[in-house]
């Protein structure tokens, strides 16, 4: 990765950092989806320079900054973030496109999506709706089997429900993000969430 830009979030008393992540990351996802290839992949990867996670306490947060990396300056220019984030420009600062400072790079990491099989609350609601079990009993049952994680996450509105007008019809999910140390990768293959299980990004 040779070029990058950084988005700094600017929450205030009325707009929380979590709300901003949800709205802005959705727009970034749509921006990347607009340039994806036939395999639903892009060559722009994300990093979270303030990411922190303590596996012992289960506490963590993605931070208040996001970096976008790519091989060419043109790729970031063509993404046109000002347009995609036009509704939120009062709540973010988008830096100019810069060269990755090789002399400051301390290593490479992978940011990947951590998917959990399901969610106990959703399954319990389904059982209650079918009239087969009481919600609390079903919840207690499913919590014994359903895998979960306490990794840092971003609350996202699913693509399948993004067009609904009624809030009750919207389907939100947690985009869990896992950080792993890695070697410098020769491939730059990322999902439309800017994440990858094989391609690394620099840290500095």
CATH number at residue 46: 3.30.70.2540
Q: Tell whether 160 is covered by a domain.
A: no
pTM tops 0.85: no
Q: Tell whether 107 is covered by a domain.
A: yes
The pLDDT of 79-87, averaged and rounded, is 96
The pLDDT of 142-165, averaged and rounded, is 72
Please write the tens of the pLDDT for every residue from 102-117.
999 999 999 999 987 6
Q: Tell whether 182 is covered by a domain.
A: yes
Q: Tell whether 132 is covered by a domain.
A: no
The pLDDT of 129-157, averaged and rounded, is 83
b or e along 67-91 (b: 16 or more beta carbons within 10 Å of the residue's beta carbon)?
Answer: bbbbeeeebbeebebeebbeebeeb
Q: Tell whether 130 is covered by a domain.
A: no
The pLDDT of 181-200, averaged and rounded, is 96
Q: Tell whether 103 is covered by a domain.
A: yes
Q: Tell whether 138 is covered by a domain.
A: no
Q: Identify the pLDDT of residue 115.
A: 81
Q: Tell whether 34 is covered by a domain.
A: yes
Please write the tens of the pLDDT for every residue from 166-189.
444 457 888 999 999 999 998 999
- For residue 59, list its beta bridge partners: 54
Q: Percent of the chain beyond pLDDT 90?
A: 72
Number of independent structural domains in the chain: 1
Q: Which domain holds residue 109?
A: 3-115+172-203
Question: Which is it for the CA torsion 81, 85, 90, 91, positive or negative?
Answer: negative
């Amino acid at each position: 990765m040779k070029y990058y830009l950084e988005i700094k979030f600017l929450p205030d008393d009325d707009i929380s950092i979590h709300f901003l992540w949800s709205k802005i990351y959705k727009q970034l996802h749509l921006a990347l989806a607009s340039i994806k290839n036939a395999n639903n992949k892009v060559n722009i990867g994300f990093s979270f320079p303030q990411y922190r996670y303590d596996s012992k306490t289960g506490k963590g947060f993605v931070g208040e900054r996001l970096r976008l990396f790519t091989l060419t300056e043109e790729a970031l220019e063509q993404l046109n973030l000002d347009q995609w984030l036009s509704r939120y420009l009062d709540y973010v600062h988008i830096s100019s496109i810069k060269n990755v400072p090789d002399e400051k790079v301390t290593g490479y990491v992978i940011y990947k999506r951590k998917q959990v099989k399901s969610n106990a609350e959703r399954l319990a609601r389904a059982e209650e709706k079918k009239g087969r079990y009481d919600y609390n009993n079903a919840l207690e049952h499913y919590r014994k089997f359903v895998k979960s994680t306490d990794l840092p996450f971003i609350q996202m509105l699913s693509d399948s429900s993004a067009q609904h007008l009624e809030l009750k019809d919207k389907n939100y999910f947690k985009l869990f993000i896992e950080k792993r140390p890695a070697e410098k990768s020769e491939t730059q293959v990322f999902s439309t969430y800017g994440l990858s299980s094989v391609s690394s990004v620099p840290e500095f």
